[in-house]
Structure 1
Amino acid sequence: MTRLHAVLAATDLSAPARHAAQRAALLASETGARLELLHVLEKTTLDELQAVFVDQDAAVLQRIRELARDALSQLATDIGEPLGVTAGLHLEEGAVLETIAAEADRLDASLLVLGARGTDFMRQWLLGATAERLLRKVRRPILAVKQPPHEHYRKVLVPVDFSPWSAGAVRLARAVAPKAELTLMHAFELPYEGKLRLAFVEEDVILGQRIKARHDAVARLQQFAADAGLSGSAWRTSVIHGATALRVLEQEEELGADLIVLGKHGADMTEELLLGSVTKHVLAHARCDVLAAYR
Protein backbone atom coordinates (compact mmCIF):
# COMPACT_ATOMS: atom_id res chain seq x y z
CA MET A 1 0.00 0.00 0.00
CA THR A 2 1.16 3.57 -0.73
CA ARG A 3 2.45 5.31 2.41
CA LEU A 4 2.74 8.99 3.19
CA HIS A 5 6.20 10.05 4.33
CA ALA A 6 5.86 13.85 4.16
CA VAL A 7 2.77 16.09 4.21
CA LEU A 8 3.30 19.69 3.10
CA ALA A 9 0.63 22.25 4.04
CA ALA A 10 0.88 25.59 2.21
CA THR A 11 -0.83 28.35 4.15
CA ASP A 12 -1.45 32.06 3.64
CA LEU A 13 -1.94 32.31 7.45
CA SER A 14 -5.60 33.26 7.07
CA ALA A 15 -8.24 31.73 9.36
CA PRO A 16 -9.77 29.53 6.60
CA ALA A 17 -6.33 28.30 5.52
CA ARG A 18 -5.80 27.13 9.11
CA HIS A 19 -8.18 24.24 8.34
CA ALA A 20 -5.70 22.92 5.78
CA ALA A 21 -2.87 22.99 8.31
CA GLN A 22 -5.06 21.24 10.89
CA ARG A 23 -6.00 18.53 8.38
CA ALA A 24 -2.33 18.08 7.47
CA ALA A 25 -1.48 17.65 11.16
CA LEU A 26 -4.25 15.08 11.56
CA LEU A 27 -2.94 13.14 8.57
CA ALA A 28 0.61 13.25 9.91
CA SER A 29 -0.62 12.02 13.28
CA GLU A 30 -2.63 9.15 11.79
CA THR A 31 -0.09 7.99 9.22
CA GLY A 32 3.22 8.80 10.91
CA ALA A 33 4.21 11.12 8.05
CA ARG A 34 6.49 14.13 8.51
CA LEU A 35 4.61 17.45 8.72
CA GLU A 36 5.93 20.54 6.91
CA LEU A 37 4.34 24.02 6.94
CA LEU A 38 5.02 26.53 4.16
CA HIS A 39 4.18 30.23 3.87
CA VAL A 40 5.17 32.19 0.77
CA LEU A 41 5.67 35.95 0.86
CA GLU A 42 4.52 37.13 -2.55
CA LYS A 43 7.45 38.75 -4.36
CA THR A 44 5.36 41.35 -6.18
CA THR A 45 3.79 42.49 -2.89
CA LEU A 46 7.23 42.90 -1.30
CA ASP A 47 8.38 44.90 -4.32
CA GLU A 48 5.37 47.20 -4.03
CA LEU A 49 6.08 47.79 -0.34
CA GLN A 50 9.68 48.64 -1.16
CA ALA A 51 8.45 51.29 -3.59
CA VAL A 52 6.10 52.82 -1.00
CA PHE A 53 8.52 52.76 1.95
CA VAL A 54 11.59 53.69 -0.06
CA ASP A 55 13.32 55.41 2.90
CA GLN A 56 12.80 52.54 5.33
CA ASP A 57 12.17 49.56 3.11
CA ALA A 58 14.71 47.29 4.80
CA ALA A 59 13.17 47.75 8.24
CA VAL A 60 9.60 47.33 6.96
CA LEU A 61 10.38 44.18 5.01
CA GLN A 62 12.29 42.70 7.93
CA ARG A 63 9.33 43.34 10.21
CA ILE A 64 6.99 41.63 7.71
CA ARG A 65 9.27 38.61 7.61
CA GLU A 66 9.43 38.46 11.41
CA LEU A 67 5.65 38.68 11.78
CA ALA A 68 5.15 35.93 9.19
CA ARG A 69 7.74 33.71 10.86
CA ASP A 70 6.12 34.23 14.28
CA ALA A 71 2.65 33.48 12.89
CA LEU A 72 3.89 30.31 11.18
CA SER A 73 5.60 29.17 14.38
CA GLN A 74 2.46 29.81 16.42
CA LEU A 75 0.37 27.89 13.90
CA ALA A 76 2.72 24.91 14.17
CA THR A 77 2.37 24.97 17.95
CA ASP A 78 -1.41 25.32 17.90
CA ILE A 79 -2.04 22.45 15.49
CA GLY A 80 0.84 20.19 16.46
CA GLU A 81 0.95 20.13 20.25
CA PRO A 82 -2.54 18.59 20.76
CA LEU A 83 -1.55 15.73 18.43
CA GLY A 84 2.05 15.31 19.48
CA VAL A 85 3.25 16.38 16.02
CA THR A 86 6.23 18.65 15.35
CA ALA A 87 6.22 20.59 12.09
CA GLY A 88 9.08 21.78 9.95
CA LEU A 89 8.72 25.50 9.15
CA HIS A 90 9.44 27.07 5.77
CA LEU A 91 9.15 30.80 5.02
CA GLU A 92 9.92 31.57 1.38
CA GLU A 93 9.70 34.55 -0.98
CA GLY A 94 8.70 34.46 -4.63
CA ALA A 95 5.81 33.73 -6.97
CA VAL A 96 3.33 31.70 -4.91
CA LEU A 97 2.50 28.90 -7.34
CA GLU A 98 6.06 28.34 -8.52
CA THR A 99 7.43 28.49 -4.97
CA ILE A 100 4.91 25.96 -3.68
CA ALA A 101 5.77 23.58 -6.52
CA ALA A 102 9.50 23.99 -5.91
CA GLU A 103 9.17 23.37 -2.16
CA ALA A 104 7.00 20.30 -2.73
CA ASP A 105 9.79 18.89 -4.89
CA ARG A 106 12.59 19.92 -2.53
CA LEU A 107 10.88 18.37 0.47
CA ASP A 108 9.78 15.32 -1.56
CA ALA A 109 6.23 15.79 -0.29
CA SER A 110 3.92 12.78 -0.58
CA LEU A 111 0.95 15.14 -0.37
CA LEU A 112 0.40 18.87 -0.81
CA VAL A 113 -2.43 20.29 1.33
CA LEU A 114 -4.12 23.60 0.50
CA GLY A 115 -7.09 25.47 1.91
CA ALA A 116 -9.93 25.86 -0.55
CA ARG A 117 -10.88 29.15 1.05
CA GLY A 118 -8.54 31.90 2.09
CA THR A 119 -7.07 35.15 0.84
CA ASP A 120 -5.35 36.10 -2.39
CA PHE A 121 -3.89 33.02 -4.10
CA MET A 122 -5.48 30.47 -1.78
CA ARG A 123 -8.90 31.92 -2.44
CA GLN A 124 -8.43 31.72 -6.18
CA TRP A 125 -6.52 28.51 -6.79
CA LEU A 126 -9.59 26.33 -7.28
CA LEU A 127 -10.96 28.60 -9.97
CA GLY A 128 -10.23 28.05 -13.63
CA ALA A 129 -6.71 28.40 -14.94
CA THR A 130 -5.00 28.63 -11.54
CA ALA A 131 -6.18 25.18 -10.50
CA GLU A 132 -5.12 23.68 -13.81
CA ARG A 133 -1.68 25.33 -13.66
CA LEU A 134 -1.11 24.05 -10.14
CA LEU A 135 -2.23 20.52 -11.00
CA ARG A 136 0.24 20.49 -13.88
CA LYS A 137 3.14 22.10 -12.05
CA VAL A 138 2.94 20.02 -8.87
CA ARG A 139 3.49 16.42 -9.92
CA ARG A 140 2.20 15.25 -6.57
CA PRO A 141 -1.23 14.60 -5.03
CA ILE A 142 -3.01 17.80 -3.97
CA LEU A 143 -5.60 17.86 -1.17
CA ALA A 144 -8.05 20.77 -1.20
CA VAL A 145 -9.46 21.20 2.31
CA LYS A 146 -12.95 22.67 2.36
CA GLN A 147 -14.26 21.72 5.79
CA PRO A 148 -12.94 22.19 9.36
CA PRO A 149 -11.27 18.88 10.30
CA HIS A 150 -12.91 17.51 13.44
CA GLU A 151 -11.79 13.90 12.99
CA HIS A 152 -10.02 11.52 10.64
CA TYR A 153 -11.72 10.82 7.31
CA ARG A 154 -14.54 8.28 7.69
CA LYS A 155 -16.21 8.00 4.26
CA VAL A 156 -14.18 8.32 1.08
CA LEU A 157 -15.60 8.37 -2.45
CA VAL A 158 -13.31 7.23 -5.28
CA PRO A 159 -14.65 7.63 -8.84
CA VAL A 160 -13.23 4.83 -11.02
CA ASP A 161 -12.80 4.64 -14.80
CA PHE A 162 -10.80 1.35 -14.71
CA SER A 163 -7.59 3.08 -15.81
CA PRO A 164 -4.21 2.64 -14.06
CA TRP A 165 -4.74 6.13 -12.63
CA SER A 166 -7.87 4.92 -10.87
CA ALA A 167 -5.86 2.17 -9.22
CA GLY A 168 -3.42 4.83 -8.04
CA ALA A 169 -6.30 6.85 -6.60
CA VAL A 170 -7.46 3.83 -4.58
CA ARG A 171 -3.95 3.31 -3.20
CA LEU A 172 -3.75 6.97 -2.27
CA ALA A 173 -7.18 6.91 -0.63
CA ARG A 174 -6.08 4.02 1.57
CA ALA A 175 -2.88 5.86 2.48
CA VAL A 176 -4.65 9.10 3.39
CA ALA A 177 -7.63 7.49 5.10
CA PRO A 178 -6.55 4.00 6.24
CA LYS A 179 -9.56 3.51 8.53
CA ALA A 180 -12.24 5.01 6.31
CA GLU A 181 -14.98 3.21 4.38
CA LEU A 182 -14.26 3.41 0.65
CA THR A 183 -16.95 3.68 -2.00
CA LEU A 184 -15.72 2.87 -5.50
CA MET A 185 -18.05 4.64 -7.91
CA HIS A 186 -18.32 4.16 -11.66
CA ALA A 187 -20.59 6.30 -13.82
CA PHE A 188 -21.41 4.88 -17.24
CA GLU A 189 -23.22 6.12 -20.32
CA LEU A 190 -24.23 4.27 -23.48
CA PRO A 191 -22.18 5.39 -26.46
CA TYR A 192 -24.33 7.39 -28.86
CA GLU A 193 -27.47 6.98 -26.74
CA GLY A 194 -28.83 10.28 -28.04
CA LYS A 195 -28.16 9.27 -31.62
CA LEU A 196 -29.97 5.97 -31.04
CA ARG A 197 -33.09 7.92 -30.11
CA LEU A 198 -32.70 10.13 -33.15
CA ALA A 199 -32.58 6.93 -35.20
CA PHE A 200 -35.94 5.93 -33.62
CA VAL A 201 -34.49 2.96 -31.74
CA GLU A 202 -37.16 1.83 -29.28
CA GLU A 203 -36.74 2.76 -25.62
CA ASP A 204 -37.00 -0.89 -24.57
CA VAL A 205 -33.99 -1.70 -26.70
CA ILE A 206 -32.01 1.23 -25.27
CA LEU A 207 -33.01 0.25 -21.73
CA GLY A 208 -31.89 -3.33 -22.37
CA GLN A 209 -28.51 -2.09 -23.56
CA ARG A 210 -28.24 0.13 -20.49
CA ILE A 211 -28.98 -2.81 -18.17
CA LYS A 212 -26.33 -4.88 -19.91
CA ALA A 213 -23.81 -2.04 -19.67
CA ARG A 214 -24.51 -1.68 -15.96
CA HIS A 215 -24.12 -5.43 -15.38
CA ASP A 216 -20.77 -5.39 -17.18
CA ALA A 217 -19.64 -2.35 -15.18
CA VAL A 218 -20.54 -4.02 -11.87
CA ALA A 219 -18.45 -7.07 -12.80
CA ARG A 220 -15.52 -4.91 -13.88
CA LEU A 221 -15.71 -2.87 -10.68
CA GLN A 222 -15.68 -5.99 -8.53
CA GLN A 223 -12.63 -7.27 -10.41
CA PHE A 224 -10.99 -3.85 -10.14
CA ALA A 225 -11.47 -3.91 -6.35
CA ALA A 226 -9.97 -7.39 -6.13
CA ASP A 227 -6.97 -6.34 -8.23
CA ALA A 228 -6.54 -3.29 -5.97
CA GLY A 229 -6.27 -5.61 -2.98
CA LEU A 230 -9.48 -4.52 -1.29
CA SER A 231 -11.03 -7.05 1.04
CA GLY A 232 -13.30 -7.24 4.05
CA SER A 233 -16.26 -4.97 4.66
CA ALA A 234 -14.56 -1.56 4.64
CA TRP A 235 -15.48 -0.87 1.02
CA ARG A 236 -18.50 -0.86 -1.27
CA THR A 237 -19.30 -0.24 -4.93
CA SER A 238 -21.72 2.07 -6.69
CA VAL A 239 -22.51 1.91 -10.42
CA ILE A 240 -24.64 4.75 -11.76
CA HIS A 241 -25.85 5.82 -15.18
CA GLY A 242 -25.01 9.39 -16.12
CA ALA A 243 -22.27 12.00 -16.50
CA THR A 244 -19.40 11.42 -14.09
CA ALA A 245 -19.00 14.96 -12.71
CA LEU A 246 -22.67 15.31 -11.80
CA ARG A 247 -22.96 11.79 -10.39
CA VAL A 248 -19.88 12.30 -8.18
CA LEU A 249 -21.50 15.31 -6.53
CA GLU A 250 -24.78 13.44 -6.07
CA GLN A 251 -22.95 10.50 -4.49
CA GLU A 252 -21.02 12.84 -2.21
CA GLU A 253 -24.29 14.10 -0.75
CA GLU A 254 -26.00 10.70 -0.63
CA LEU A 255 -23.11 8.97 1.10
CA GLY A 256 -22.16 11.83 3.37
CA ALA A 257 -18.60 11.58 2.04
CA ASP A 258 -15.96 13.70 3.74
CA LEU A 259 -13.34 13.12 1.02
CA ILE A 260 -13.38 12.58 -2.75
CA VAL A 261 -10.25 11.12 -4.35
CA LEU A 262 -9.84 11.68 -8.09
CA GLY A 263 -7.19 10.11 -10.28
CA LYS A 264 -5.46 12.63 -12.57
CA HIS A 265 -4.05 11.39 -15.87
CA GLY A 266 -0.65 12.16 -17.30
CA ALA A 267 0.29 14.95 -19.66
CA ASP A 268 -1.76 14.06 -22.72
CA MET A 269 -5.15 14.70 -24.29
CA THR A 270 -6.88 12.61 -21.65
CA GLU A 271 -5.57 14.96 -18.96
CA GLU A 272 -7.12 17.93 -20.72
CA LEU A 273 -10.48 16.17 -20.92
CA LEU A 274 -10.36 15.06 -17.29
CA LEU A 275 -9.44 18.49 -15.98
CA GLY A 276 -12.19 20.08 -18.02
CA SER A 277 -15.02 17.68 -17.34
CA VAL A 278 -14.46 16.12 -13.95
CA THR A 279 -11.58 17.27 -11.75
CA LYS A 280 -12.11 21.01 -12.16
CA HIS A 281 -15.89 20.66 -11.74
CA VAL A 282 -15.62 18.56 -8.59
CA LEU A 283 -12.90 20.79 -7.11
CA ALA A 284 -15.10 23.83 -7.59
CA HIS A 285 -18.46 22.40 -6.49
CA ALA A 286 -17.90 19.61 -3.96
CA ARG A 287 -18.67 20.47 -0.37
CA CYS A 288 -16.25 17.97 1.12
CA ASP A 289 -12.46 17.84 0.77
CA VAL A 290 -11.10 16.80 -2.63
CA LEU A 291 -7.84 14.97 -3.31
CA ALA A 292 -6.51 15.05 -6.86
CA ALA A 293 -3.94 12.34 -7.48
CA TYR A 294 -1.30 12.93 -10.14
CA ARG A 295 -1.02 9.25 -11.05
Structure 2
Amino acid sequence: MRIVFATDLSDASKTAIESRTCLECLANIGVREVHLLTVVPDNVSSGLPGMDIASDARTALAAQRDVFEDAGFEVETHVARGTPHRRINGLAERIDADMIVVGSRGESPLENRLIGGTVRNVARTAVRPLLVERIERTESGPAVKKEHLFRDTLYATDFSANAERAFDFFPQLTGATQRAYLLHVRGREQKDGSDTEADARERLDEMATELRDRMGIEVETNVRTGGVVDEILAEETRVGATTTLLGARGTSRLRRLLLGDTAETVVARGNNNVLLVPPESATPR
Protein backbone atom coordinates (compact mmCIF):
# COMPACT_ATOMS: atom_id res chain seq x y z
CA MET A 1 0.00 0.00 0.00
CA ARG A 2 1.25 3.46 -0.94
CA ILE A 3 0.30 6.59 1.03
CA VAL A 4 0.80 10.35 0.89
CA PHE A 5 1.59 11.69 4.36
CA ALA A 6 1.07 15.46 4.35
CA THR A 7 3.03 17.43 6.93
CA ASP A 8 3.28 21.13 7.73
CA LEU A 9 6.54 20.44 9.63
CA SER A 10 4.92 21.61 12.88
CA ASP A 11 5.32 19.94 16.26
CA ALA A 12 1.84 18.45 15.75
CA SER A 13 2.86 16.78 12.48
CA LYS A 14 6.10 15.61 14.07
CA THR A 15 4.08 14.03 16.89
CA ALA A 16 1.84 12.19 14.43
CA ILE A 17 4.85 10.82 12.57
CA GLU A 18 6.81 9.81 15.65
CA SER A 19 3.99 7.83 17.29
CA ARG A 20 5.27 4.26 17.29
CA THR A 21 1.77 2.84 17.73
CA CYS A 22 0.41 4.80 14.77
CA LEU A 23 3.32 3.68 12.58
CA GLU A 24 2.61 0.09 13.56
CA CYS A 25 -1.07 0.55 12.64
CA LEU A 26 -0.08 1.76 9.16
CA ALA A 27 2.28 -1.18 8.75
CA ASN A 28 -0.42 -3.59 9.91
CA ILE A 29 -2.76 -2.56 7.08
CA GLY A 30 -0.04 -3.11 4.52
CA VAL A 31 1.49 0.35 4.06
CA ARG A 32 4.99 -0.09 2.66
CA GLU A 33 5.65 3.11 0.70
CA VAL A 34 5.32 6.61 2.17
CA HIS A 35 5.43 9.83 0.15
CA LEU A 36 6.13 12.59 2.65
CA LEU A 37 4.83 15.93 1.36
CA THR A 38 4.98 19.49 2.59
CA VAL A 39 3.54 22.48 0.72
CA VAL A 40 5.32 25.85 0.66
CA PRO A 41 2.90 28.80 0.33
CA ASP A 42 3.12 30.80 -2.88
CA ASN A 43 3.12 34.11 -1.01
CA VAL A 44 6.50 33.46 0.62
CA SER A 45 9.49 34.51 -1.47
CA SER A 46 12.51 32.24 -1.49
CA GLY A 47 14.70 35.04 -2.82
CA LEU A 48 14.92 37.02 0.43
CA PRO A 49 17.84 36.54 2.83
CA GLY A 50 17.03 33.84 5.34
CA MET A 51 13.85 32.91 3.48
CA ASP A 52 14.90 29.90 1.42
CA ILE A 53 11.71 28.15 2.44
CA ALA A 54 11.94 25.22 0.03
CA SER A 55 15.49 24.40 1.16
CA ASP A 56 14.51 24.68 4.83
CA ALA A 57 11.52 22.43 4.20
CA ARG A 58 13.70 19.75 2.60
CA THR A 59 16.02 19.86 5.59
CA ALA A 60 13.10 19.49 8.00
CA LEU A 61 11.61 16.66 5.93
CA ALA A 62 14.87 14.72 6.19
CA ALA A 63 14.38 14.21 9.93
CA GLN A 64 10.78 13.06 9.44
CA ARG A 65 11.90 10.78 6.63
CA ASP A 66 14.37 9.13 9.01
CA VAL A 67 11.52 8.23 11.39
CA PHE A 68 9.60 6.41 8.66
CA GLU A 69 12.70 4.68 7.32
CA ASP A 70 13.72 3.52 10.80
CA ALA A 71 10.24 1.98 11.09
CA GLY A 72 10.83 -0.02 7.89
CA PHE A 73 8.97 2.06 5.30
CA GLU A 74 10.23 3.06 1.87
CA VAL A 75 10.11 6.86 1.77
CA GLU A 76 10.19 9.63 -0.83
CA THR A 77 10.01 13.30 0.11
CA HIS A 78 8.28 16.07 -1.85
CA VAL A 79 8.28 19.85 -1.45
CA ALA A 80 5.61 21.63 -3.49
CA ARG A 81 4.44 25.21 -3.89
CA GLY A 82 0.80 26.21 -4.09
CA THR A 83 -2.51 25.53 -2.41
CA PRO A 84 -2.03 22.69 0.09
CA HIS A 85 -5.16 20.64 -0.62
CA ARG A 86 -4.60 20.84 -4.39
CA ARG A 87 -1.00 19.75 -4.09
CA ILE A 88 -1.90 16.93 -1.70
CA ASN A 89 -4.60 15.58 -4.01
CA GLY A 90 -2.41 16.11 -7.06
CA LEU A 91 0.43 14.03 -5.64
CA ALA A 92 -1.97 11.31 -4.55
CA GLU A 93 -3.31 11.08 -8.10
CA ARG A 94 0.13 11.18 -9.71
CA ILE A 95 1.60 8.32 -7.66
CA ASP A 96 -1.69 6.39 -7.50
CA ALA A 97 -1.77 6.50 -3.70
CA ASP A 98 -4.02 4.15 -1.74
CA MET A 99 -4.53 6.68 1.06
CA ILE A 100 -3.79 10.26 2.14
CA VAL A 101 -2.88 10.96 5.78
CA VAL A 102 -3.08 14.41 7.38
CA GLY A 103 -2.84 15.58 10.97
CA SER A 104 -5.37 17.81 12.70
CA ARG A 105 -5.76 19.36 16.13
CA GLY A 106 -9.47 18.69 16.12
CA GLU A 107 -11.54 21.64 17.30
CA SER A 108 -8.60 24.03 17.53
CA PRO A 109 -8.12 25.80 14.17
CA LEU A 110 -4.65 27.09 15.01
CA GLU A 111 -2.17 28.77 12.73
CA ASN A 112 -0.59 25.70 11.15
CA ARG A 113 -1.50 25.27 7.49
CA LEU A 114 -2.62 21.66 7.80
CA ILE A 115 -4.88 22.54 10.69
CA GLY A 116 -8.48 23.65 10.29
CA GLY A 117 -9.17 25.01 6.82
CA THR A 118 -6.70 22.86 4.90
CA VAL A 119 -7.89 19.64 6.53
CA ARG A 120 -11.50 20.58 5.73
CA ASN A 121 -10.54 21.38 2.13
CA VAL A 122 -8.74 18.08 1.74
CA ALA A 123 -11.73 16.29 3.26
CA ARG A 124 -14.06 18.08 0.85
CA THR A 125 -12.01 17.36 -2.27
CA ALA A 126 -10.07 14.15 -1.58
CA VAL A 127 -9.97 11.74 -4.50
CA ARG A 128 -8.38 8.95 -2.45
CA PRO A 129 -9.28 7.59 0.99
CA LEU A 130 -8.27 10.19 3.58
CA LEU A 131 -7.17 9.50 7.14
CA VAL A 132 -7.38 12.50 9.48
CA GLU A 133 -5.21 11.80 12.50
CA ARG A 134 -6.12 13.81 15.59
CA ILE A 135 -3.44 15.61 17.59
CA GLU A 136 -4.23 17.23 20.95
CA ARG A 137 -2.41 19.84 22.98
CA THR A 138 -1.26 18.68 26.41
CA GLU A 139 0.80 20.30 29.14
CA SER A 140 3.88 18.54 27.81
CA GLY A 141 3.18 19.45 24.18
CA PRO A 142 1.30 17.91 21.22
CA ALA A 143 0.19 14.30 21.62
CA VAL A 144 -1.68 11.77 19.51
CA LYS A 145 -5.33 11.80 20.58
CA LYS A 146 -5.93 8.06 19.97
CA GLU A 147 -2.89 6.01 19.13
CA HIS A 148 -4.51 2.79 17.95
CA LEU A 149 -5.76 4.20 14.68
CA PHE A 150 -7.99 1.38 13.46
CA ARG A 151 -8.36 -0.89 16.51
CA ASP A 152 -11.96 0.17 17.27
CA THR A 153 -13.60 1.40 14.08
CA LEU A 154 -17.03 3.06 14.00
CA TYR A 155 -18.71 2.89 10.59
CA ALA A 156 -21.67 5.23 10.01
CA THR A 157 -23.93 4.44 7.06
CA ASP A 158 -27.06 5.81 5.41
CA PHE A 159 -27.12 2.72 3.12
CA SER A 160 -26.22 4.78 0.06
CA ALA A 161 -23.85 3.60 -2.68
CA ASN A 162 -21.07 5.79 -1.30
CA ALA A 163 -21.57 4.36 2.17
CA GLU A 164 -21.26 0.89 0.68
CA ARG A 165 -17.97 1.93 -0.91
CA ALA A 166 -16.67 2.93 2.51
CA PHE A 167 -17.87 -0.39 3.94
CA ASP A 168 -15.95 -2.21 1.21
CA PHE A 169 -12.77 -0.55 2.54
CA PHE A 170 -13.02 -2.54 5.79
CA PRO A 171 -11.03 -5.59 4.57
CA GLN A 172 -8.03 -3.31 3.97
CA LEU A 173 -7.98 -2.72 7.73
CA THR A 174 -7.47 -6.42 8.45
CA GLY A 175 -4.66 -6.85 10.93
CA ALA A 176 -5.32 -3.53 12.64
CA THR A 177 -9.07 -3.57 13.41
CA GLN A 178 -10.17 -5.70 16.36
CA ARG A 179 -13.71 -4.38 16.83
CA ALA A 180 -16.16 -2.70 14.46
CA TYR A 181 -19.29 -0.75 15.37
CA LEU A 182 -21.91 -0.26 12.66
CA LEU A 183 -24.22 2.73 13.05
CA HIS A 184 -27.24 4.06 11.20
CA VAL A 185 -28.78 7.38 12.22
CA ARG A 186 -32.47 7.89 11.51
CA GLY A 187 -33.50 11.51 11.23
CA ARG A 188 -36.37 12.57 13.44
CA GLU A 189 -38.61 12.96 10.39
CA GLN A 190 -38.05 9.29 9.56
CA LYS A 191 -39.68 8.01 12.73
CA ASP A 192 -43.01 7.61 10.92
CA GLY A 193 -41.56 6.83 7.48
CA SER A 194 -41.66 3.67 5.43
CA ASP A 195 -38.07 2.72 6.35
CA THR A 196 -38.42 1.43 9.88
CA GLU A 197 -35.88 1.00 12.63
CA ALA A 198 -36.35 -2.75 12.28
CA ASP A 199 -35.41 -2.52 8.59
CA ALA A 200 -32.23 -0.63 9.47
CA ARG A 201 -31.27 -3.10 12.18
CA GLU A 202 -31.77 -6.02 9.79
CA ARG A 203 -29.49 -4.43 7.20
CA LEU A 204 -26.84 -3.67 9.81
CA ASP A 205 -27.01 -7.26 11.08
CA GLU A 206 -26.35 -8.54 7.56
CA MET A 207 -23.33 -6.29 7.26
CA ALA A 208 -22.09 -7.37 10.69
CA THR A 209 -22.26 -11.03 9.69
CA GLU A 210 -20.26 -10.28 6.54
CA LEU A 211 -17.53 -8.54 8.54
CA ARG A 212 -17.30 -11.32 11.09
CA ASP A 213 -16.95 -13.89 8.31
CA ARG A 214 -14.42 -11.89 6.28
CA MET A 215 -12.27 -10.36 9.02
CA GLY A 216 -12.86 -12.51 12.11
CA ILE A 217 -13.48 -9.47 14.33
CA GLU A 218 -16.02 -8.45 16.94
CA VAL A 219 -18.91 -6.43 15.50
CA GLU A 220 -21.73 -4.52 17.19
CA THR A 221 -24.61 -2.62 15.57
CA ASN A 222 -26.75 0.30 16.66
CA VAL A 223 -29.51 2.54 15.31
CA ARG A 224 -29.88 6.03 16.73
CA THR A 225 -32.43 8.77 16.06
CA GLY A 226 -31.64 12.47 15.93
CA GLY A 227 -29.24 14.88 14.25
CA VAL A 228 -26.81 12.86 12.16
CA VAL A 229 -23.56 14.53 13.21
CA ASP A 230 -24.52 14.77 16.87
CA GLU A 231 -25.46 11.10 16.97
CA ILE A 232 -22.25 9.99 15.24
CA LEU A 233 -20.16 11.96 17.72
CA ALA A 234 -22.18 10.58 20.63
CA GLU A 235 -21.66 7.03 19.37
CA GLU A 236 -17.91 7.61 19.03
CA THR A 237 -17.83 8.41 22.73
CA ARG A 238 -20.16 5.59 23.76
CA VAL A 239 -18.17 2.81 22.09
CA GLY A 240 -14.72 4.33 22.54
CA ALA A 241 -13.97 4.29 18.82
CA THR A 242 -10.44 5.15 17.71
CA THR A 243 -11.40 5.87 14.08
CA THR A 244 -14.68 6.77 12.39
CA LEU A 245 -15.16 5.41 8.85
CA LEU A 246 -17.42 7.39 6.50
CA GLY A 247 -18.20 7.69 2.83
CA ALA A 248 -17.75 11.17 1.38
CA ARG A 249 -19.88 13.38 -0.86
CA GLY A 250 -22.91 11.15 -1.22
CA THR A 251 -26.66 11.47 -0.69
CA SER A 252 -28.96 8.88 0.77
CA ARG A 253 -32.02 7.22 -0.71
CA LEU A 254 -33.49 7.96 2.73
CA ARG A 255 -33.28 11.69 1.91
CA ARG A 256 -30.66 12.36 4.55
CA LEU A 257 -27.45 14.11 3.52
CA LEU A 258 -25.13 11.95 5.59
CA LEU A 259 -22.16 11.30 3.39
CA GLY A 260 -21.38 14.78 2.08
CA ASP A 261 -21.62 17.79 4.34
CA THR A 262 -21.94 15.45 7.31
CA ALA A 263 -18.57 13.81 6.69
CA GLU A 264 -16.93 17.21 6.47
CA THR A 265 -18.67 18.38 9.65
CA VAL A 266 -17.56 15.26 11.54
CA VAL A 267 -14.00 16.10 10.55
CA ALA A 268 -14.44 19.71 11.65
CA ARG A 269 -16.28 19.12 14.93
CA GLY A 270 -15.06 15.75 16.09
CA ASN A 271 -12.07 14.68 18.14
CA ASN A 272 -11.77 11.18 16.71
CA ASN A 273 -9.54 9.98 13.90
CA VAL A 274 -11.63 9.93 10.71
CA LEU A 275 -11.22 7.78 7.60
CA LEU A 276 -13.13 9.16 4.60
CA VAL A 277 -13.64 7.09 1.45
CA PRO A 278 -14.61 9.14 -1.63
CA PRO A 279 -17.07 7.88 -4.25
CA GLU A 280 -15.67 6.01 -7.22
CA SER A 281 -16.61 8.90 -9.51
CA ALA A 282 -14.55 11.44 -7.57
CA THR A 283 -12.29 13.53 -9.80
CA PRO A 284 -9.40 15.82 -8.90
CA ARG A 285 -10.24 19.43 -8.00
TM-score (structure 1 length as normaliser): 0.76
Query: In the superposition, relative to structure 1, how do residues 151 and 119 fare at CA in structure 2: closer, same or farther (>3 Å)?
Result: same
Stretches of 4+ aligned residues off by more than 6 angstroms: 270-273
The CA deviation at 1:192 is 6.2
Asked if structure 2 preserves the Cα contact closer than 8 Å seen for 1:265 and 1:271, the reply is no
Which residue pairs with 1:120 in the alignment? 112
Identity level (%):
23
Query: Structure 2: which 5+ residue stretches go unaligned?
Result: 136-143, 280-285
Give how far 1:239 is off. 1.4
**How many residues are aligned here?**
260
Output the amino acid matched with 1:251.
E
- Secondary structure of the 2:63 match is helix
- Of 153-162 and 176-185, deviating more is 176-185
The code of the aligned residue for 2:233 comes to L
In structure 2, the residue matched to 1:12 is 8
CA distance in 1, matches of 2:200, 2:128: 29
Partner of 2:41: 42
1:120 Cα shift?
3.3
Matches of 1:89 and 1:253, distance apart in 2 = 36
**Larger deviation: 220-229 or 258-267?**
220-229
Q: Which moved more, 1:247-256 or 1:212-221?
A: 212-221
SS of the aligned residue for 1:120 comes to coil
2:38 is matched by which residue type in structure 1?
H
Cα deviation, 1:149-201, whole Å, max 9, x if unaligned, reads 644521000001112222221222442464321111111135365xxxxxxxx
Distance 2:161 2:190 in 1: 25
Tell me, in whole angstroms, the C-alpha distance in 1 between the residues paired with 2:246 and 2:275.
6
Larger radius of gyration: 1
Q: Name the counterpart of 1:256.
A: 240
> Is 2:89 aligned against 1:101?
yes
Which residue is 1:70 aligned to? Answer: 59
Does residue 1:167 correspond to 2:151, yes or no?
no
Shift in CA distance, 99/272, structure 1 to aligned 2, threshold 3 Å:
farther
Q: 1:272 to 1:134 in 2, by over 3 A?
A: farther
Whether contact under 8 Å (1:264, 1:271) holds in the other structure is no
Which of 153, 156, 169 is the matching residue for 1:156?
Answer: 153
Distance 1:236 1:84, change over 3 A: same
Per-residue deviation, residues 63-88 of structure 1 (Å, max 9, x unmatched): 4333211210111112441x222321
- 8 Å CA contact 2:180, 2:217 repeated in 1: no
**8 Å Cα contact 2:9/2:38 also seen in 1:** yes
Question: In the superposition, relative to structure 1, how do residues 17 and 263 fare at CA in structure 2: closer, same or farther (>3 Å)?
Answer: same
TM-score (norm 2): 0.78
Displacement of 1:236: 1.6
Conserved 8 A contact 2:162-2:259 = no
Judged with a 3 Å threshold, the aligned counterparts in structure 2 of structure 1 residues 241 and 125 are, in CA distance, closer, same or farther, namely same
Distance change >3 Å, CA 241–CA 121, structure 1 → 2: same
8 A Cα contact 1:111 1:140, kept in partner: yes
Contact 2:162 2:247 in 1 (8 A): yes
RMSD: 3.1
1:291 alignment partner, one of 258, 275, 281: 275
For the structure 1 residues 216 and 279, does the alpha-carbon distance in structure 2 shift closer, same or farther, using more than 3 Å as the test?
Answer: same
